[in-house]
Amino acid sequence: MVFYRGVSLLSKLRSRAVQQTNLSNSVRWLQVQTSSGLDLRSELQELIPEQQDRLKKLKSEHGKVQLGNITVDMVLGGMRGMTGLLWETSLLDPDEGIRFRGLSIPECQKVLPAAKPGGEPLPEGLLWLLLTGKVPSKEQVDSLSQELRSRATVPDHVYKTIDALPVTAHPMTQFATGVMALQVQSEFQKAYEKGIHKSKLWEPTYEDSMSLIAQVPLVAAYVYRRMYKNGNTIPKDDSLDYGANFAHMLGFSSSDMHELMRLYVTIHSDHEGGNVSAHTGHLVASALSDPYLSFAAALNGLAGPLHGLANQEVLLWIKSVVEECGENISKEQLKDYVWKTLKSGKVVPGFGHGVLRKTDPRYTCQREFALKHLPEDPLFQLVAKLYEVVPPILTELGKVKNPWPNVDAHSGVLLNYYGLTEARYYTVLFGVSRALGICSQLIWDRALGLPLERPKSVTMEWLENHCKKA
């Protein structure tokens, strides 16, 4: 197919210089691939049969092709590096970072429609790209924004369910509880109970997924206002796009904060299928659990300190540096503090990644945002110093495969600058963003008829005996 051959060509861009040289040609080609229709569901109805045939051909002609060898290290190391999932919406390269349907973050920033000239991409545009593999026009994005706004209503029982929890409960606990309370409206569950052909399962999945994506900002904003603003909620503004409206409901009217939220939601939306939240959502959905149940499970994985909760830990650690050493800390003082952290048995939060082996492009685009909007902010300047100080120390330590900063190293400082200072809440923002990627893939899971996930497990005795024979 022409589109996927084009994406394959894009994914071979290896350096920033080469990317810049070829980007204009890539952009022109992708713009040709847009469709005239404004309805996302209709676009999927055209694409799905083609991709179903593509999957059948791949399985029948190449199903026995080996993808690599599994080692004992992989089995004992949490299946690290095993190729074992189909995830169409994004691919993570150890050197290049994330690509959404073949497009890098800089490319997405260039080709996806924005709210204003030269601004950050609209999350609705990325959602269209994730679902269709095509760059949408501004008119298509506006149409999708309108569809999401029409779905953005939350039943009262959801808020009452959240209110049954102590106001001191962690924001992620309250958020996941709200998502579970939304599940009673699942169109997928109703359709399955009535009886539906498996080839049509994607249709109620689409309905649930789009409603869920539209509703999670309202639930998340309610949690924030309940915890930190005495329960004084702010109604949605139907004149605003997805990211700006989320910021508005949280209580932020700054146009720069709206831009930050558009960028934040876009870059946090997806990170291929192997991370904890994405994999959990896929795993639970493979049992034909509906999107609400699947996404709630994903949120519980995201709440772990080794995954989404890390963004909370980064800002708290940075503030501890300031409290002990002051804002104008020198690089030498910072080195001493980093070594102190490491020698105490702790990690420096925000550095390292399970897959990436270079600086996370999501970190880089946030750094560029900061250089543009808040270059003099003391906490940003501290983050910039950490970028220079921490990697050499981690390299010297010799135990870290990737000493470079990841997405979490920067996001908290940007949010803090614009007044969202409650670090415990940051993972909820991550969760709202991740709804786009998880739900997009879930629709394709159903469309392609992907089976129940059931890997094989073994005991240590089995491994020992196997290794003796080997």
User: For the segment 365-377, what is each residue's pLDDT rounded down to a tens digit?
Assistant: 999 999 999 999 9
Q: Cβ(260)–Cβ(429) under 8 Å? A: no
Buried b (16+ CB within 10 A) or exposed e, 269-296: bbbbbbbbbbbbbbbbbbebbbbbbbbb
Homologous superfamily of the 310-418 domain (CATH): Cytochrome P450-Terp, domain 2 (1.10.230.10)
Give the C-alpha separation, 125 to 61, whole Å: 35
What's at 313, amino acid-wise?
E
pLDDT, greater one: 13 or 251: 251
pLDDT, position 429: 97
Given the residues 170, 271, 279, 307, the one annotated as active site = 307
What integer pLDDT is reported at residue 187 of this predicted model?
A: 98
**Winning range, highest mean pLDDT, from 1-15, 331-345, 394-408, 427-441:** 427-441
Section 96-116 average pLDDT: 95
Nearest to 437 by CA among 7, 88, 10, 44: 88
CA–CA distance, 301 with 148 (Å, rounded to integer): 26
The arithmetic mean of pLDDT across residues 93-113, rounded, is 93
pLDDT confidence bin for 199, thresholds 50/70/90:
very high
Q: What is the pLDDT of residue 19?
A: 41
Give the pLDDT of residue 88: 95
353 is catalytic: yes
Give Cα 44 distance to the centre of its chain: 22
Query: Which candidate in 258, 353, 360, 410 is catalytic?
Result: 353
Average pLDDT of every residue of the chain: 90
Active site residue 408: yes
Residue 279 vs residues 137, 169, 302: alpha-carbon distances, Å? 31, 26, 11
Question: Exposed, middle or buried, 411 (CB in 10 Å: 0-12/13-18/19+)?
Answer: buried
Q: Is residue 176 within 8 Å of 303, Cβ to Cβ?
A: yes
User: If you average pLDDT over residues 83-93, what whole number do you get?
Assistant: 93
Inform me whether the pLDDT recorded for 408 exceeds 90: no
Domain coordinates of the chain in residue numbers? 310-418
Enter the tokens of residue 256.
């720069």
Cα dihedral 380, 381, 384, 389 sign: negative
Mean pLDDT over residues 146-172, rounded?
A: 98
Amino acid letter, residue 88: E
* HSE (side-chain half, CA atoms, 13 Å) at 59: 10
Of residues 453 and 5, the one with the higher pLDDT is 453
Q: What is the per-residue DSSP string for 444-469?
A: HHHHTT----------HHHHHHHHHH
Taking only the tens place, the pLDDT of each residue in 63-72 is: 999 988 899 9
Q: Are 347 and 394 in contact (CB under 8 A)?
A: no
Residue predicted with more confidence, 308 or 217: 217
Q: How confident is the model at residue 145 (pLDDT cuts 50, 70, 90)?
A: very high
Please report the pLDDT score of residue 383 as a whole number: 92
Query: What are the angstrom distances between the C-alpha of 123 and each of 148, 244, 259, 391, 457?
Result: 11, 10, 11, 32, 39
**Residue 27: what pLDDT?**
44
Asked whether the predicted pLDDT for residue 152 surpasses 90, the reply is yes
pLDDT of residue 36: 62
Q: Is the pLDDT of residue 101 over 90?
A: yes
Please state the rounded mean pLDDT for residues 119-129. 98
Instruction: Tell me the C-alpha distance between 206 and 447, whole Å.
Output: 10
Mean pLDDT for the stretch of residues 219-223 = 98
Residue type, 179: V
pLDDT at 93: 86
Helices 123-132, 40-62: axis angle to 10 degrees equals 40
| Distance of alpha carbon 446 from the chain centroid | 20
Q: What share of the chain has pLDDT > 70, as a percent?
A: 92
Q: For residue 355, give both structure tokens.
A: 């897959």
Count CB-CB contacts under 10 A for residue 76. 11
Does 319 score more than 80 pLDDT?
A: yes
Q: What is the reported pLDDT for 21?
A: 41
Q: What average pLDDT score do residues 353-374 get?
A: 89
- In this structure, of 128-132, 197-201, 211-215, 343-347, the range with the lowest mean pLDDT score is 343-347
